[in-house]
Amino acid sequence: MREWAGIVEWAAGNVVLGSEGAATIRDGFVDTGLPIAGEGAPLVSEFALMELVAVLGRSPDGGRVYVGRVLECAWRLPQVYASVVAGRLAPWRAERIAEATRPLCPDAAAFVDRQLFNATGVGWAQLERLIAEAVIRFDPEQYEAERAAASDHRYVEVGAPDANGLVSIDGLLDAADGRDLDQAISRRATLLGRLGNEASLDVRRSQALGDLARNDLTLDLEGAPGRKAVLNVHITDATLVGANPVGRWDQQPVSAEQIREWLSQPGMSVTVRPVIDLADHVPVTAYEIPDRHRQQIELRDHTCRFPYCTRAAMRCDLDHATPHGQGGPTCPCNLVPLCRRHHRAKTHSQWRYQVTKIGTYVWRSPAGFRFEVSHRGTHPQEHADSDDDPEPGVYRQPPDTH
């Protein structure tokens, strides 16, 4: 990482005090006027940058972007930069993070940097969610302006019929409207299958959409039920002492204003459901898993806990870490969400995991590779010895007592 350190040293010696003569971002033939790194990073000389880019052997535009990303990391993402220098984080991954944080205000960028203590296990989708949450928290006016502008681009288009009598449908909907439409299509497609329709699920979904359209002609729109919203309300010490502007739609962060808009829709019915403490452990003696346990685990783990898997926990099986037949309780502390594929891998192959603490799991692959999985993502660990083969679900340390 000698090159990165050299660029940082160069930047410190080529600072300009105002926008006049400062290096800016170019978009094709257009000079955007925006500095090459975010607010708080130094403004560097345009002419000095030209020389540096030539010395680095990069193209003028590509080199400008590259240097800007290095400065973004060094001045606004110090933990990310330290990880690159220490060899814990690949430079290309740090560059992607820097590109995403450059438009953020300093507080939002610092928030992202604090969350990325070990960015090796953070995927692009997770980074995008983190960026969105940072904007909602620290620049809510900007977020609402961008959301309003994006809403103006909603549309639905039905194309012209082709030679086979088929049409394409394309659209961009509000997230809640899209969820309602998807659920309605899925319910109708399932019903068609039960009634004897032997077409594939995709075909039945297309037929279901047509059925919904035809049935609309006979609907009593005044008496039709509205959308039902379920709010999972979390009360923590942080919530009690200050305002939290960030809500959740599945795993996606949404602003409080967005939630208010959804709840103000005509005909909306709302069910407010208090959520039990995620740290509670209330076991039951039966093997079957109560709904309250499933809800607690979905809120705790969000996704399948296999390395790098992103399937939502609500679509996963719940695995007894210590098998029920071996005395493992049916309790949130002993239940882990695994999608069907990875549940089978754990049951029928040599994949094993340990619960190091509630919500953190260390997996061992058949070849001995280890991966730590938690709410912070997946992080590869040191290679395991072949004789260190844990039994599935064994704890390294006892879980919290009930």
Residues in contact with 225: Cβ distance below 8 Å, sequence separation at least 6, in sequence order: 267, 269
Whole-number Å distance between alpha carbons of 52 and 58: 9
Structure tokens at 69: 């990303």
Q: Which of 343, 345, 363 is nearest to 353 (CA)?
A: 363
Q: Where are the alpha helices (DSSP H) in 256-329?
A: 256-263, 291-301
Judged by DSSP in three states, 274 sits in strand
Per-residue pLDDT of the chain (402 residues; tens, 9 = 90+): 789 999 999 999 999 888 887 888 776 555 666 788 999 999 998 888 888 988 889 888 888 999 999 999 999 999 999 999 988 888 998 999 999 999 999 999 999 998 886 666 677 788 888 888 898 889 888 888 988 899 999 999 998 887 777 889 999 999 889 999 999 999 999 999 999 999 999 999 999 998 888 887 655 555 555 555 555 544 444 444 446 677 766 667 777 777 777 777 666 666 666 656 566 666 676 777 888 888 888 888 889 999 988 888 888 999 988 888 888 888 888 899 999 989 988 888 888 999 998 889 999 998 888 999 988 888 888 765 544 555 544 444 444 444
Whole-number Å distance between alpha carbons of 326 and 271: 39
The amino acid occupying position 279 is A
Whole-number Å distance between alpha carbons of 152 and 10: 44
- Determine contact, residues 247/286, Cβ cutoff 8 Å: no
Burial 262-295 (b: 16+ CB within 10 A, else e): beeeeeeeeeeeeeeeeeebeeeeeeebeeebbb
